[in-house]
Amino acid sequence: METAGQEKNKSGNLFVSREKLKKAIGIFRYIRPYMGYFTIAMILLVAGSLIFMALMGLPGEMANTAVGKPKFNFGIDVRDYGWLFLVILILQGLLSYFRTLYFAIVSEKGMADLRKDLYNKIITQPISFIEERRVGELTSRITADVEQLQSAFSITLAEFIRQVVILISGIAIIVYWTPRLSLIMLLTFPAIVIVAVIFGRYIRKLSKERQDQLAKTNTVVEETFQSFSIVKSFANEWYESIRYAQSVDDIVRISLRFAKIRGVFFVFIITILFGGIFFILWRGALMVQNGSMEAGDLFSFIIYTGILGGAIASFGNLYTQLVSAIGATERIQQILESESEVEIKPSEKVQPLHIRGDIQFNNVRFAYPSRPDVEILKGISFDVRAGSKIALVGQSGAGKSTIVQLLMKFYNPLAGDILVDGQNIQSFDITAYRRNIGIVPQEVILFGGTIRENISYGKTGATEEEIIRAAELSNSMEFIRSFPDGLNTVVGERGIKLSGRQRQRIAIARAILKDPRILILDEATSSLDAESEKLVQEALDHLMQNRTSIIIAHRLATVRDVDCIYVIENGKIVESGTHEALTLQNGVYSNLARLQFDPVIG
Specify the pLDDT at position 16: 55
Q: Give per-residue pLDDT as tens, 256-294.
A: 887 887 787 777 767 766 666 677 777 777 777 777 777
Spatial neighbors of 491 by CB under 8 A, at least 6 apart, are 446, 447, 448, 449, 450, 451, 454, 497, 498, 503, 506
Q: Between 130 and 438, whose confidence is greater?
A: 438
DSSP run (H or E) holding 212: helix 189-226
pLDDT band per the 50, 70, 90 thresholds, residue 162: confident
Q: What angle do CA 410, 415, 420 make, to 5 degrees?
A: 60
Positions of E strands within 222-358:
none
Class assignment of domain 15-336? mainly alpha
CA 288 – CA 33 distance, rounded (Å): 55
CA 547 – CA 550 distance, rounded (Å): 10
Is-contact 196 316, C-beta < 8 A? yes
CA 322 – CA 237 distance, rounded (Å): 39
Q: Give per-residue pLDDT as tens, 386-440.
A: 889 898 988 888 888 899 899 989 888 999 999 999 899 998 888 888 888 888 8
Spatial neighbors of 358 by CB under 8 A, at least 6 apart, are 383, 384, 385, 386, 419, 420, 421, 422, 548
Specify the pLDDT at position 40: 92
| Residue ranges per structural domain of the chain | 15-336
Specify the pLDDT at position 417: 92
Q: Which of 50-59, 137-146, 367-376, 529-538 has the lowest mean pLDDT?
A: 529-538
Q: Angle, to 10 degrees, between the axis of helix 35-66 and the axis of helix 157-177?
A: 30
Neighbours of 219 (CB within 10 A): 21
Name the percent of the chain lying above pLDDT 70.
Answer: 85
Is-contact 198 339, C-beta < 8 A? no
CA 24 – CA 18 distance, rounded (Å): 10
| Single-letter code of the amino acid located at 550 | I
The 10 Å CB-count burial string (b at 16+, else e) for 32-56 is: eebeebbebbbebbbebbebbbebb
CA 580 – CA 591 distance, rounded (Å): 13
Mean per-residue pLDDT for 209-228? 80
Mean pLDDT, the chain, integer: 79
Is-contact 515 469, C-beta < 8 A? no
What residues are paired with 418 via a beta bridge?
361
Q: Between 195 and 386, whose confidence is greater?
A: 386
Using DSSP, state whether 245 is helix, strand or coil.
Answer: helix
Is-contact 361 418, C-beta < 8 A? yes
Going from the C-alpha of 271 to that of each of 198, 266, 267, 281, 306, the distances in angstroms are 17, 8, 6, 15, 14
CA 263 – CA 204 distance, rounded (Å): 14
Sheet holding 548-552, edge to edge: 437-440, 518-522, 548-552, 389-393, 564-569, 572-577
Look up the pTM and report it: 0.69
539, burial (CB in 10 Å: exposed 0-12, middle 13-18, buried 19+): buried
Going from the C-alpha of 314 to that of each of 44, 255, 317, 519, the distances in angstroms are 21, 19, 6, 63
Specify the pLDDT at position 528: 57
Q: Which of 176-190, 216-230, 319-333, 522-536 has the lowest mean pLDDT?
A: 522-536
**Considering only CA atoms, which of 335, 344, 330, 324 is closest in space to residue 27?**
330
DSSP state of 490: B
Using DSSP, state whether 599 is helix, strand or coil.
Answer: coil
Q: Between 246 and 197, whose confidence is greater?
A: 246
Spatial neighbors of 72 by CB under 8 A, at least 6 apart, are 61
Between the ranges 45-59, 74-88, 385-399, 523-537, where is the mean pLDDT highest? Answer: 385-399
Q: What angle do CA 9, 15, 17 make, to 5 degrees?
A: 75
Q: What angle do CA 509, 467, 490 make, to 5 degrees?
A: 80
Q: Give per-residue pLDDT as tens, 559-597.
A: 788 889 998 888 888 988 888 888 888 888 888 777 776
Using DSSP, state whether 545 is helix, strand or coil.
Answer: coil
Specify the pLDDT at position 407: 92
Is-contact 192 251, C-beta < 8 A? no
DSSP run (H or E) holding 222: helix 189-226
CA 311 to chain centroid, in Å, comes to: 34
Q: Give per-residue pLDDT as tens, 483-499.
A: 888 888 888 776 777 88
